[in-house]
A and B are shown apart, each in its own frame.
Chain A
């Protein structure tokens, strides 16, 4: 049911109930007043009759023309004979006791007042229905304005609510006009206070949506731009291979082409890894032993380190429990170790994992060229490549590390290696 219809029904019902209550109150009040008034009249009439001479013929004469009265008068003699009865046809009940009584009879309910005087019993009676009719009339008079007002109010409510609802409609069409390209907030100025929370909540949602969308767009734009570099290299390398005039030249060109393909593949993998790390999605909270995870990553890179003449060592004896996403943390450690091996020409790369209080610390330390303090923040930016960056890097490794760390509530810091040379990456898990 629409709000309009609901409001209409309930408001009209309330108005009607109010009218009925008022009529009820008026009915009872009017009846009580009528009771008092008519009781007084009954009594006065009886007292007036008492002071009369009661010669039946005179009496009848005196009361002639009082037929129209609602009062039925009966007079009995001392011997109990009925001397007078005003409304013979009404079969008014006979006197049972003196004073006021209410009696039911075949002719209805009667209000009766009886007195005795000099052997005469005078009874004045009135049908209760007369009083009730008065009360009902009073009640109906009270109810009448309500009944007249009811359809008018209904019309008014229908119109007013309809008018107010137009604001909702305009808000709805404002929402309908929003597209992924135009997510500006909806104006709250003309919106009623009741709808304002809804509009504000909607604006909040639009804002978050817009931010997420522009993040995605920026990412795609960056990715498209970055993909051009390895693709350009591939295209040129392929053409060189095609133009090669002898075996040696062709072999050299093919080796270059292979390197180019490896770089393109790595970039695509890193882009996918970054895209999967949606900042809004909740991270997994599995129980993980960071020490064995780091050892596994070190083992994967061992052959490469040996080939490069580097010592790749792990210092992770005790289990180090953390909560998080196993695959993501593996990527984090892998990227840090990969970076260290990529930059370090000679010396060693050390991976250290230990528990600190409830948290954990992961360190990857190398004896490479390090990163100048001024550059240490920028290297976490997507696609930023340091000035001394060797070829084959994607500019995404540390951005991915940072994103994963953030999702685990961990911090990443870059500092000097042992003795001020090389680089030490420190990841602190809370």
Chain B
């Protein structure tokens, strides 16, 4: 998934970005409210991680103006403000969840998964598509009852496709979900990962239609 991290503190920002990348997310990081608004305008993000105390435009204002513009991207607030009134204000402004500093990387990752799950209408942490079983919490994949070891990118690609089985995702859309701005993307990166998934699972599991992109085959 592609996340936008909005955090003005350099140490927290770089550590959180690194930690979330290890979870297999593509993470872009901006340091103030105006940059955040400009970045969200691209519409490529699956989730926004938003600090409240930001220079130039504070987090709550950013959130309110996003929601006022009808931007539906899920927002997880990450802040040092722990008062109940602050949490209420954050949630009322349109946040999907609220995480108080100092937080744990594992908890951050779990909340990101939970917000995404709620947003896609799923309640369970496990995705099932045909013989494919994805435990999004443990990030474990089983194919016909057998554990399959995937790299972070392969997993992210599979999860993106499994989120809406049968639907097509273009190569560009997949690249956006898999890579942040500052990451090098080989021109055939998506093909390489698709190839790996076909090899590890089933050659027929991912369909590729020219001009439409890739989709997960439900009855493979």
A229 within 8 A of B: yes
Q: Say if the beta carbon of A295 comes within 8 Å of chain B.
A: no
Q: Does A240 contact B (CB under 8 A)?
A: yes
Residues of B with C-beta under 8 A to A263: 11
Q: Count A-B pairs with CB separation below 8 Å.
A: 60
Cα of A259 to Cα of B11 in the assembled complex, Å: 9
Which residues of chain B (76-105) have a CB below 8 Å from chain A?
Answer: 80-81, 101-105
Given A225-B80, A229-B80: A237 touches B11 (CB 8 Å cut-off): yes
Say if the beta carbon of B69 comes within 8 Å of chain A.
no
Contact in complex: A256, B56 (CB < 8 Å): no
Majority SS of interface residues in chain A?
helix
Cross-chain contact B22 with A256 (CB below 8 angstroms): no
A236 to B16, CA, bound (A): 7
Verify if B19 is at the interface (C-beta below 8 Å from A): yes
A291–B14 alpha-carbon span in the complex (Å): 42
B19:A239 contact, CB within 8 angstroms = yes
The distance in angstroms between the C-alpha atoms of A271 and B182, with both chains bound, is 37
Do B101 and A240 touch (CB < 8 A)? no
Smallest CB separation, A186 vs chain B (Å): 32
Residue of A with least CB distance to B15: A236
- Taking CB atoms, residues of chain A closer than 8 Å to B10 are 391
Q: A229-B80, A387-B56 are in contact. Are A235 and B11 (CB under 8 A)?
A: no
- By beta carbon, the residue of chain A nearest B106 is A239
Contact with B along A249-265 (1 / 0, CB 8 A): 00000001001100100
- Rounded to whole angstroms, the CA-CA distance of A169 and B102 in the bound complex is 51
Inter-chain CA distance A338–B55, complex, in Å, is 23
Q: How far is the CB of B139 from chain A (nearest CB, A)?
A: 13
Number of interface residues of B (CB under 8 A): 21
User: Which residues in A have their C-beta under 8 angstroms from that of B11?
Assistant: 230, 233, 236-237, 256, 259-260, 263, 391
- Say yes or no: is B151 at the interface (Cβ < 8 Å to chain A): no
Residue from A228, A239, A259, A391 within 8 A of B101 (CB atoms): A228
- Is A231 close to B, CB under 8 A? yes
**Complex CA–CA separation, A253 to B11 (angstroms):** 11
Residues of A within 8 A of B22 (CB): 240, 243
Q: Which of A225, A228, A233, A387 has a CB less than 8 Å from the CB of B15?
A: A233
Q: Which residues on the A side are within 8 Å of B124 (C-beta)? A: none
Report B56 CB to chain A, min CB distance, Å: 7
Query: How many A residues have CB within 8 A of the partner chain?
Result: 20
A259-B102 Cα distance, complex, nearest whole Å: 17
Q: How far is the CB of A387 from chain B (nearest CB, A)?
A: 5
- Minimum CB–CB distance for A175 against chain B, Å: 32
- Across-interface contacts of A230 in B (CB, < 8 A): 11
Contacts of B16 in A (CB 8 A): 236
**Chain B residues with Cβ under 8 A from A225's Cβ?**
80-81
Q: Is the CB of A235 within 8 A of B55?
A: no
- The CA of A256 and the CA of B16, in the complex, are separated in Å by 12
Q: Contacts A228-B80, A229-B9 given: A256-B15 contact, CB under 8 Å?
A: yes
Q: Which residues of B contact A240 (CB under 8 A)?
A: 15, 18-19, 22, 105
A391 to B104, CA, bound (A): 21
Chain A proximity of B59: nearest CB distance (Å): 14
A256 to B11, CA, bound (A): 8
Max chain B CB contacts within 10 Å: which of A232, A256, A259?
A232
Q: Could you tell me the distance in whole angstroms from the C-beta of A253 to the nearest C-beta in chain B?
A: 8
Q: Answer whether residue B12 sits at the interface, using C-beta atoms and an 8 A cutoff.
A: yes
| Residues A239 and B102 in contact in the complex (CB < 8 Å), given A229-B80, A256-B15, A391-B9 | no
Residue from A235, A243, A256 within 8 A of B102 (CB atoms): A235
Docked CA distance A228–B56 (Å): 21
* B55–A387 touching, CB < 8 Å: yes
Minimal Cβ-Cβ distance residue in B for A228: B80
CB A78 to nearest CB in B, in angstroms, measures 128
A180 to chain B, nearest CB (A): 20
Expressed in whole angstroms, the minimum distance between the Cβ of A372 and any Cβ of chain B is 13
What would be 11 A-B contacts, judged by CB atoms less than 8 Å apart?
A225-B80, A232-B103, A235-B103, A235-B105, A236-B16, A239-B104, A240-B18, A240-B19, A256-B11, A260-B11, A391-B10
A-B pairs, top 7 by smallest CB distance, nearest first, are: A236-B15, A233-B11, A232-B102, A228-B80, A391-B10, A232-B101, A239-B105
**Beyond A237-B15, A256-B11, 17 additional pairs, beta carbon < 8 A:** A229-B12, A229-B80, A231-B102, A233-B12, A235-B104, A236-B11, A236-B12, A236-B16, A239-B105, A240-B15, A240-B18, A240-B19, A240-B22, A240-B105, A243-B19, A243-B105, A263-B11
